[in-house]
Structures are given as structure tokens and as C-alpha cells.
Amino acid sequence: MSDPEKEEVEDPKIEEIKSPEPTMGSHLKYISLGILVFQTTSLVLTMRYSRTLKEDGPRYLSSTAVVAAEVLKIITCIFLVYKDNSCSVRALNRVLHEEIINKPFDTLKLAIPAVIYTLQNNLLYVALSNLDAATYQVTYQLKILTTALFSVSMLQKRLTKFQWLSLVILMLGVTFVQWPTDSSSAPSKDVSSGSRFMGLMAVLTACFSSGFAGVYFEKILKETKQSVWIRNIQLGFFGGIFGLVGVYAYDGDSVSKGGFFQGYNNLTWTVVVLQALGGLVVAAVIKYADNILKGFATSLSIILSTLISYFWLQDFVPTSVFFVGAIFVISATFLYGYDPKPSVNPVKA
């Protein structure tokens, strides 16, 4: 992968005006968005499947899977930095020293989104252990609203009236999707109302953390010159540490009895790889596109995972109200991205 950020280091404002670049940059934009659609869909389905599959022996501890994904992400990012530095170990060493170890204050800034993402990544497992994949994904679209609010307050972004309207439609849609769930025609099986409430709380909290952490990371990326992979190493470093704290706080006993990787199987490793890939792709999307286009990609993945959940996993029978709600949510996402006058860069610094 080329390194467009390298040539643009002098002035972050210049980078902002140029972004997204018409050639390599826009390719990267669409490639990263496409991979995000694939990754979001497959992660949600495999995670849900892996948490509900009946198996002999202990189920894997989701807190350890979060840590495993962080470690995998760091290794991948180190490899990408190595590749960007002409595959020279010496240059890699120098860059890691100069950009991470010699800039402790700068590195420390990433501890904030790291702690939030760690919480969020754990909440995601709670949500998907208690909600079906489709309900989870549609409700999680509320993060577009929180992302918008944080973008307005932290990036001084201005929203058009279409965008505000789309946020209202979004909230209506999410309400519809949640409406008649616990009746006799309840769409999900094996889900009690108590655990469903817990799943909903988890996903709603994740909406706030996603909005804040996404905008914070976008701000750091667009206001400073470090490469996205360096930023992700810093993020992953803290993410791994906070994740380990989580493992020992919640699953310390189980780990000392059954080991860190108890219950891991191929499916668990698939979830770990998909989650690590997700982190890398989200970072690339924030860098080459922005948080709004990220919303588009996740909406497309809703359509995909609903279809797969219905036809393939058969763990979800959508009611007509669900369909209306889902259509509202998806239309709102597209309306949010609708820009009557094309602008090069949605963020006003």
C-alpha cells in the first residue's frame, strides 16, 4: 500500500483540503468501504453464531477474544509500517521509536479512544449474546446520530436540513424495529425479555462510545501527521492493556481455572480475525473516507445480514413492523449522506 500521508506531512490543513485524493485515495476509499461491508456482515453473523452455538465444554471467554483481536491488529499494523518503510527492520525500528516511544504525550492521547473501544468491543459481545443479529445491527445504527452530534460539537461540522431530517427518521425507524418483540410472534428464539433489555442497553451504550471514539480518532488523524497504522499501534497497545484488565476483572477466575484460550475453536479464531480486520478497516475508512460513509457501509451490511439471518441461520423471522423500521433506518442513512451540493470535504476545521 502506498503512503499518501507521508508526502503531506507539513500542513495538516493541506491534507484536509486534498482529501479524498482523486486517484489512489478514492480507490482506497471505495476498497475500504467495500471491505467494511463484508467485514461488518460476517462479524455480526459469526459472533452471534459463536455465542449461541451449543457445544460440549466451556464456551470461549469473549473478554479474551477482545484482547486477542488487539494483539493481532498490532502485529498487522507493525507489518504495514514495515512495508511502508521499504521492508527495512532498521527503518521500522526508527519509526516506532520516533513516533511512539519518543512521543509519550502524543501516544497517551490514544488511551482515551482505546479505553472506550475496549468497553465497546466487550459490549458488542453482550449485545450479540442477547439479541438477534438483525435487531442488534439496526439498533446500532443509532450510532449515526451520536456520531453526528459529536461531529458537530468536536469537529465543528455543519449539518444540512436533510441530515437533521434523516436523524429524526433514523430514530423513528429504530423505535419501530424494537416495537413488538416479546409478543407471541416474537422474532427471536431463546431470548428472555430480561436478557433482551440487557442486550439493548449494551447496544445503546455502544452507540455513544462508537460516536465519541470515532470522531475523536478522526480528529486526531486529520489534525496530526502520523500514519493511520502508527495511530492504530498506539490504539491497540492501550486497547490490549485495558482489555487485559477486563479479562482479569471479569473472567480472572475462569482464566486461572481453564486458561486464557479455553473454549477456542476455529469459529472463535474467525471472530477474532474478523474483529481485528474490522479495526483496521474502520481506521482506513476514517482516514480515506469519513464517519458518514462508514454509516453507509454498515447500512448495506444490515440488508445483507438480515437476509442471511432469515434465509440461512433461520434465527430471525421479521415482522412487518420490523421491515418498516428497517426501511426507515436504511433510507435515513442514505438521506444523511445525500449532499445537494457536492463538497470535497465534509469536515470544516
Residues that bind ligand C5P (CB under 6 A): 73, 117, 121, 210, 214, 217, 232, 235, 278-279, 282-283
| Per-residue CA distances from 330 to 34, 223, 244, 256, 278 (Å) | 17, 31, 36, 45, 21
Q: How far is the CB of 330 from ligand C5P (least distance, A)?
A: 17
Q: How far is the CB of 291 from ligand C5P (least distance, A)?
A: 8
Residues found in the chain: 349
Nearer to ligand C5P by Cβ, of 165 and 268: the residue is 268
CB 200 to ligand C5P: min, Å: 16
Closer by beta carbon to ligand C5P, 66 or else 332: 66
| Residue of this chain nearest to ligand C5P (CB atom) | 279
Q: Which is nearer to ligand C5P, 112 or 186 (CB)?
A: 112
Identify which of residues 32 and 232 has a Cβ nearer to ligand C5P in the complex: 232
Please name which of 285, 118, 292 lies closest in space to residue 206, comparing C-alpha atoms: 118
User: How many Cβ atoms sit within 10 Å of the Cβ of residue 205?
Assistant: 15
Q: Cβ(194)–Cβ(179) under 8 Å? A: no
Which lies closer to ligand C5P via its Cβ, residue 144 or residue 167?
144
Where are the alpha helices (H) located in 224-265, listed in sequence order?
Answer: 228-258
Nearer to ligand C5P, 19 or 192 (CB): 19
**Amino acid in the structure at residue 77:** C
CB of residue 182 to ligand C5P, shortest distance in Å: 26
Of the CA atoms within 13 Å of residue 284, those in its CB half-sphere come to 25
**CB environment 177-192: b (16+ within 10 A), e (fewer):** bbeebeeeeebbeebe
The Cα 208–Cα 145 span in angstroms is 9
Rounded CA-CA distance 324/176 in Å is: 7
3-state secondary structure 62-81: HHHHHHHHHHHHHHHHHHHH
Task: Supply the minimum distance, in Å, between the C-beta of residue 341 and ligand C5P.
Answer: 27
Q: Which residues contact 45 (CB under 8 A, 6 or more apart)?
A: 133, 305, 308, 309, 313
Minimal distance, residue 161 CB to ligand C5P, in Å: 26
Q: Considering the complex, state which of residue 201 and residue 324 has its C-beta at the smaller distance from ligand C5P.
A: 201
144's enclosing H/E stretch is helix 143-154
CB of 164 to ligand C5P, least distance (A): 22
Give whichever of 126 and 282 is closer to ligand C5P, judged by the CB atom. 282
Q: How near is the Cβ of 45 to ligand C5P at its closest, in Å?
A: 15
